[in-house]
Structure 1
């Protein structure tokens, strides 16, 4: 494990006096790494089938801790200064908070950094909300998503991918037909399309950037047979991969028409589509961001109107 002094220098882009600044001892930070990595949650939710067809409960392991922080007696004017560990906490989830009460300065707040951090993670529930069980449960679910979207909590093991929703689905309308080859739209109708492109600027108006890597299905809305002013979703397209390319690098086969624009686009490579038992109708398409929602495969399968599509991952929205 790398010494935290090197990591601290990496995150420190100011010229602080390291010798005279109240930093926590480096070994305390190194211990935070060890504590976080050692904490494992055991649960018995998995059922194992033995060779004689009997069942037994199988222990399931997970890592529920997203950060570890040392509390130490360091003195800072926390109303005016920034926590020297703020960048490390944001990026890797390891750091420290100075806590030093004062009996001589009435306006000194020695816990402001820690208080603001906890409020940002947990939120503030009013006394009125606390009386409503449903509101509290909603707040807890929202907190879980807020914690997950932080980069420090989303760093996976090498060679692995980490997602919050394994069937995360994005609804979005196909582009307009003007100037595009008819065969482009025919491929979506026939289930043979292999590509979908979307301006990165449009995506980032709705969702945070890392979400593009987590999308597992695209629910692409095409022009409705019965209501030409709206679109419908009748297929779900598995996403094999997504890349960011300038528009001119996307071929006419992939987009329906060639362009020389430099704007960045997400290009999704698609697998063979799944057909919905009941199409989702009344999908708006002007502007295209009105058709964009994050949901899940199971939620999309249970509705027939776009307005009924339940959204997830609210914390990932801009």
Structure 2
């Protein structure tokens, strides 16, 4: 049976842009007023990824300027943190040898239902005192389901049922693991680690378990994957694209397509992912030495890369190609 090839062409719609603008406004409000709520890292995370889409970036900037907000470019420079590296994972999950160890039953006592006790939550076995955000974490708050337990998985799955509020990550994608890292960075920055919880990540004497070491390696690989994605995007920037019900679609390249500013335009090609058998449109440098192989010589750019294929019924030298229904 032949593998099914799936075209993943971005579709830019008014609802998507509307959602993106709302994320921008909410994130700006949080940052400007120094409000610390759990949705803040999620909003910034979504904003940064939506902003990578060129046409949406332009639409958001136009709408922001029309309502008197600063440009999104200057906003993201202020809110976007430095990218984490694989080496930072170990630092982020630093030694917890001096911290007390709580059982799950003891941790459950700090769920905000007892006014005399602080409010705790755990992520990857690390317990944070979130009492200063009690209006969010106490009973009746929007994030009370995280209190008094380690519900690491739910931070990225959004499954707040009893079955979903669990500590084990299971088989998560690289993008989901990066989401977990974003949450850890948020709590490390804004809240104090006060203890660790005995269970899947730490023993009853506070030592890291084999599972925690496995998760650290997963997180490091996820960061490496992200670095590779960033480098690939610089070498093979995404194409601009549009789709019309009657005439079909079009992909094309400019010196700014995909949000990657460069001196060359490139030509549209299908860039295949060998693991998923899917592809995306990439703008490919078609002159001089290849960008994918620094130090190599040649005058065809990256056109001979084995992961690339031309579009059907499109000139190999064209900057724009039609996609038929």
Max Rg structure: 1
Higher relative contact order structure (alpha carbons within 8 Å, sequence separation ≥ 6):
2
Which structure has the highest strand share of the two? Answer: 1
